[in-house]
Amino acid sequence: MTTGATPARSTVAYFSMEICLEQAIPTYSGGLGVLAGDTLRSAADLGVPLIAVTLLHRKGYFVQHLDAYGQQSESPVHWKPEAELERLDARGTVTIEGRAVQVAVWKYEVTGVRGHVVPVFLLDTMVDGNGEWDRTLTDCLYGGDEHYRLCQEIVLGMGGASVLQALGYDNGVIYHLNEGHSALLTLQLLERQLDSRQHFELNDADLEAVRQRCVFTTHTPVPAGHDKFPLTMVRTVLGDERVALLRVCGGIHEGMLNMTHLSLHLTRFVNGVAMRHREVSRGMFPQSPINSITNGVHAVTWASPAFAALYDKRVPEWRRDNLYLRYSVSIPLEEIRDAHAESKRAILAEVFRRTGTKLDPSVMTIGFARRATPYKRADLIFSDVDRLATIARKIGKMQIIFGGKAHPRDGGGKELIKRIFAADERLQGLVEVVYLENYEMALAQQLVAGVDLWLNNPMKPLEASGTSGMKAAINGVPSFSVLDGWWVEGHVEGVTGWSIGGPEAEGDPSRDALDLYIKLERVILPLFYGLPFAYAEVMRSAIALNGSFFNTQRMVRQYVHNAYFPEHLPSDVRIEETALL
């Protein structure tokens, strides 16, 4: 519930390098940004007093072009912040290499089902008076070199804290670091705590005061994925005094500024994004108590029009309270099949519109879309194309729809896309393969809902959570996935979908491909073609068991009660717990 014009005293400030607000605002690259957007949408639905901070990313995350061989090239996205956002008068400042850099701010509003608003502040250094190069700092998401990245993270963390103060958010704010990119905001808070004292006067009470105001979500299951910067660079950019302060508070690790270590030392609550991810993170950081809050997706955003209409008819409470999706067990299987057929028609029409390829609505359609990067192994299903062709001939046809951008500098990811194009050549129509350009929010909405099976086979343990399988589940699409990330919790064999490989945390790549073929051949395709109503039962269970749990409504409630306000809700905070009034 909104409490009027002035911001509530208790406020959660959610910091994220990327946020997927809507299709027309290209300020995200993938899973992290989509999760951030879904978090805000659910926080708005529940009336959580939350505000968000991110960067404007004027050049957007690029437009992807694929030639006939799958070779990717990129161009900037043209979008107009002034058409989508409101420019505010408030300004913040940061100091970079001794220069004062002005940080301007734009506002977007996420409005929940009951009208509660979550404001999002997008930071912008394209300001008159800033130097030429400083003006580009909020242009490119994950662009530029290490030095650019460090300066960007200063704008996000320190500039964000400075802008919030200018906007009147200070006392009573809990800061949520969504991944370590914004960790330097803790430095800003420490400096405020020190006031005019020197870094060597910093004491435990100061550190604890900052810690009490910050929570941290880590998303990365391998040490190589954690952001770090060489000290010489940090010294040049931030100055000796700040490096000394970072050292005192534990942000320097093995001679580098390590954003994860900084975050771990200066927050009072830390969580991984799935049960398995917590175990993996505890292995990496045995000194830190790491909790777990499994990711989710915003159900209303990701349900296809056909399924949304079906839920409105059969479990109408689902919009306000996603737990009601559990009652999908009572939806007749024919209605599940009809809603799915409609979703499938929509994605096949989109495939035709984009590529001119006519896919067959009666054929088992497999979806695979995510960031094109080697560990996701998009081409695992093509490890043995002859075998795949034989299965198609013997048991039933398949068609596979791929999507996903490779980061402009991810050579391995770009090769992966080319290998998929090459496999299509070799399969000669026995298994139809299409690769769709520009896998973004709107395409994802159609794709996760319209295929018959959602395939996911990353190298373990590299998938912290994964969320596209959760979007599929909301639409009754079963997952076929390695047991990593969220699927360790969401998988009930033959009930919500199927596993690839065994339950151990480290995978066996050769066995994964073998298992994939065996299960397609002996279990999944025979069920799909031979027992369509049994297949629809798996679809229905995916909704009832997984749709009802792997949503951001449940997730945000867990953040509220475990991370933001673990003791009790402050008197000025009222969270909607249920739709039952």
Ligand X SMILES: *Cc1c(COP(=O)(O)O)cnc(C)c1O
**Interface residues with ligand X (CB under 6 A)?**
30-31, 34, 370, 439-441, 444, 466-468, 471
Shortest Cβ 308–ligand X spacing (Å)? 17
Shortest Cβ 52–ligand X spacing (Å)? 18
Give strand pairing partners of 119.
Answer: 109
Given the complex with ligand X, which of 64 and 281 has the nearer CB atom? 64
Q: Which two tokens stand for residue 553?
A: 């409504």
Q: Scanning the structure block, which residue is given the tokens 């650019």?
A: 148
Given the complex with ligand X, which of 164 and 417 has the nearer CB atom? 417
Burial class of residue 68 (count of CB atoms within 10 Å of its CB; 0-12, 13-18, 19+)? exposed
Given the complex with ligand X, which of 211 and 471 has the nearer CB atom? 471
SS3 253: strand
Given the complex with ligand X, which of 38 and 521 has the nearer CB atom? 38
CB–CB of 104/122 below 8 Å?
no
Give strand pairing partners of 365.
Answer: 399
Q: Scanning the structure block, which residue is given the tokens 């879904």?
A: 38
| Gap between the Cα atoms of 423 and 420, Å rounded | 5
Shortest Cβ 211–ligand X spacing (Å)? 30
Shortest Cβ 438–ligand X spacing (Å)? 9
Given the complex with ligand X, which of 408 and 526 has the nearer CB atom? 408
Given the complex with ligand X, which of 52 and 473 has the nearer CB atom? 473
Given the complex with ligand X, which of 120 and 470 has the nearer CB atom? 470
Q: What angle do CA 214, 220, 221 make, to 5 degrees?
A: 125
Please state whether the peptide bond connecting residue 458 to the residue before it is cis, i.e. omega within 30 degrees of 0.
no
Shortest Cβ 385–ligand X spacing (Å)? 24
Shortest Cβ 370–ligand X spacing (Å)? 3
Dihedral sign from CA coordinates of 488, 303, 79, 152: negative
Residues 6 or more apart whose Cβ sits within 8 Å of residue 289: 270
Shortest Cβ 374–ligand X spacing (Å)? 14
Q: What angle do CA 28, 295, 159 make, to 5 degrees?
A: 45
Given the complex with ligand X, which of 440 and 576 has the nearer CB atom? 440
Given the complex with ligand X, which of 34 and 513 has the nearer CB atom? 34
Give strand pairing partners of 435.
Answer: 402
Q: Scanning the structure block, which residue is given the tokens 């009809």?
A: 338
Given the complex with ligand X, which of 124 and 440 has the nearer CB atom? 440
Given the complex with ligand X, which of 31 and 157 has the nearer CB atom? 31
Given the complex with ligand X, which of 182 and 446 has the nearer CB atom? 446
Q: What DSSP character marks residue 155?
A: I
Cβ-based neighbour number of residue 211 at 10 Å = 18
Give strand pairing partners of 401.
Answer: 367, 434
**The amino acid at 543:** I
Element (H, E) at 536: helix 532-541
Say what the alpha-carbon torsion angle 13, 18, 20, 22 is, to the nearest 10 degrees.
Answer: 90
Q: Scanning the structure block, which residue is given the tokens 């910091």?
A: 15
Shortest Cβ 25–ligand X spacing (Å)? 13
Backbone angles phi, psi at 324, to 5 degrees: -65, -15
Q: What is the DSSP string of 395-453?
A: T--EEEEEE-PPPTT-HHHHHHHHHHHHHHHHHTTSEEEEEES---HHHHHHHHHHSSE
Shortest Cβ 34–ligand X spacing (Å)? 4
Shortest Cβ 377–ligand X spacing (Å)? 12
Given the complex with ligand X, which of 328 and 468 has the nearer CB atom? 468
User: Of 455, 456, 334, which Cα lies nearest the Cα of 398?
Assistant: 455
Given the complex with ligand X, which of 33 and 70 has the nearer CB atom? 33
| Gap between the Cα atoms of 162 and 175, Å rounded | 13
CB–CB of 470/481 below 8 Å?
no
Instruction: Annotate 54-103 with three-state secondary structure.
Output: EECCCCCCCEEEECCCCCEEEECCCCCHHHHCEEEEEEEEEEECCEEEEE
Cβ-based neighbour number of residue 415 at 10 Å = 16
CB–CB of 227/259 below 8 Å?
yes
Q: What DSSP character marks residue 451?
A: S
Shortest Cβ 333–ligand X spacing (Å)? 27
Shortest Cβ 409–ligand X spacing (Å)? 18
Shortest Cβ 287–ligand X spacing (Å)? 28
Shortest Cβ 462–ligand X spacing (Å)? 11
